[in-house]
Structure 1
């Protein structure tokens, strides 16, 4: 029996076609098949770079069936590349079922580095990047979305979301109601001609979006600043113990020990420790 071929995870541009890497182009041209989220959409990219590799669709409605078929082809010796409509596959896009099955079947999986809207937006947002949580898309229904946003009240790291143009205003207005004056940053049309970053309170950002209908069009990344930790609310003896322990333990572990000892919130202590290290407290 022949050795299995390789599944390549290939990021594609999120706007500017020049962002695709030479390695990605070489891979797309050399594999036997390209599994694309939407073959019609991907055809424009492939035609632009004169790539004639055969394509087939792989999306949320057919991934189970396609995963079985592609694993059979891979086991038979055909290299396969997985792409999404834009950015890095599997990041709020299909592909997990296929990759998991390949791993189970012993098929090599190689991921190429490349464009990702969440990371690109975060790096230019001006919000803390040392710790962040990517949440994908927020719930569609307002109540579920509000419940999700409520969980950010005490989160001490930056939160990153994707949002669709038809829901962007509703989402930001929900943030205004739930998160009040927390700072947010909305990035739209990253790497495209009308790339825009708008930051402020949810009310300020919502007002900006509603001022002109065209501002509500495009692809959006929404980022929420960390909760501000009131270090003065942490007992001095707890801070002293945290400082001492963090000289001998990782900060996260030290914060957990102090939180248990003084019945405090671990995230608040962790953030306070970060602030101490950076000279902010």
Structure 2
């Protein structure tokens, strides 16, 4: 097999998201032939390079040093260096700080090339069973509840599959917050993709919440996908649901009101029941 030389300029190279064998021949050639490899964490990237006996110089390039390093990298590229940009896992520039380097290269007429490969967002979408013709990728969700809810609120009426990255430590809180805006929708938690303990769970959001809140410690990198809305009623807020319940309580028992409202509006029955109990306690 003839080796394909890396182009002059900056080359973005996709790396495995878990399984080290998920790397292309061309990517290996390019990593070997580059003058320098920019990566997020040299400790992480070194594992891949050692596995394939690649000895190219590694330089850490991340959000905390990018501003100071970027001019030096651009100068090296202008001098004819071949530099590769990789991320810890997957395709560079997907939820990482590399785009500003690409922007600087283009502004200085430096060639930017790509060697495509794995990316967790597309891998998760392809096996989710959710619509794939149109989707929104929101990257990592905010770590704070208020900001996370604001994000969910801004997307609740978007008629497309929603995809996010999430930390395992925040997964339960994320699912709980999402119930207020996406109750009744099908969601998917794709965890540890391509790794030994790969786990993909597809269910209504309330079911996923109940499952994961019972787990002491969730591990692994997570992709969180939410199905598009089915009906306008899915946009109902908790206050609107309570108002509809109050109207039903005049003629129906709590059990019947919950069941009928959930069915008619395609809302999670467990959510409606919880809100009904809150009303009874007031």
Give 3-state SS (helix, strand or coil) of 1:223's partner: strand
Please say if 1:226 is aligned against 2:228. Answer: yes
Give 3-state SS (helix, strand or coil) of 2:21's partner: helix
Mapped partners of 2:74, 2:60: distance in 1:
14
Which residue does the alignment assign to 1:61?
Answer: 64
Give 3-state SS (helix, strand or coil) of 2:225's partner: strand
Which residue, 85, 89, 94 being the options, matches 1:86?
A: 89
- Contact kept in structure 2, 1:5 and 1:75, CA below 8 Å: no
Mapped partners of 1:200, 1:150: distance in 2:
21
Which residue does the alignment assign to 1:38?
Answer: 41
Q: Which aligned runs of 4 or more in structure 1 are off by greater than 4 angstroms?
A: none
Please say if 1:172 is aligned against 2:175. Answer: yes
User: For each residue in 1:90-118, what CA deviation from the matched residue of structure 2 results, as whole angstroms up to 9, or x when unmatched?
Assistant: 10012111110000010000011100000
Please say if 1:153 is aligned against 2:185. Answer: no
Mapped partners of 1:207, 1:194: distance in 2:
21
User: For each residue in 1:149-177, what CA deviation from the matched residue of structure 2 results, as whole angstroms up to 9, or x when unmatched?
Assistant: 12232211101000011111110111123
Structure 1 residues 230-241: aligned runs within 5 Å:
none
Q: Give ranges in structure 1 of 5+ residues lacking alignment.
A: 231-281
Mapped partners of 1:82, 1:94: distance in 2:
11
Mapped partners of 2:68, 2:60: distance in 1:
11
User: How far apart are 1:209 and its partner, in Å?
Assistant: 1.3
Mapped partners of 1:147, 1:43: distance in 2:
38
Which residue does the alignment assign to 2:143?
Answer: 140
User: How far apart are 1:229 and its partner, in Å?
Assistant: 4.1
Mapped partners of 1:103, 1:228: distance in 2:
42
Which residue, 1, 19, 24 being the options, matches 2:27?
A: 24
Which residue, 103, 106, 111 being the options, matches 2:106?
A: 103
The size of the alignment, in residue pairs, is 226
**TM-score (normalizing by structure 2):** 0.78
User: For each residue in 1:3-35, what CA deviation from the matched residue of structure 2 results, as whole angstroms up to 9, or x when unmatched?
Assistant: x93100001100001100000000000010000
- Contact kept in structure 2, 1:37 and 1:94, CA below 8 Å: no
User: How far apart are 1:204 and its partner, in Å?
Assistant: 0.6
Mapped partners of 2:154, 2:203: distance in 1:
20
Which residue does the alignment assign to 1:217?
Answer: 219
Mapped partners of 2:17, 2:27: distance in 1:
14
RMSD: 1.3
Mapped partners of 2:215, 2:8: distance in 1:
51
Which residue does the alignment assign to 2:80?
Answer: 77
Mapped partners of 1:229, 1:209: distance in 2:
27
**TM-score (normalizing by structure 1):** 0.78
Which residue does the alignment assign to 2:124?
Answer: 121
Mapped partners of 1:63, 1:139: distance in 2:
22
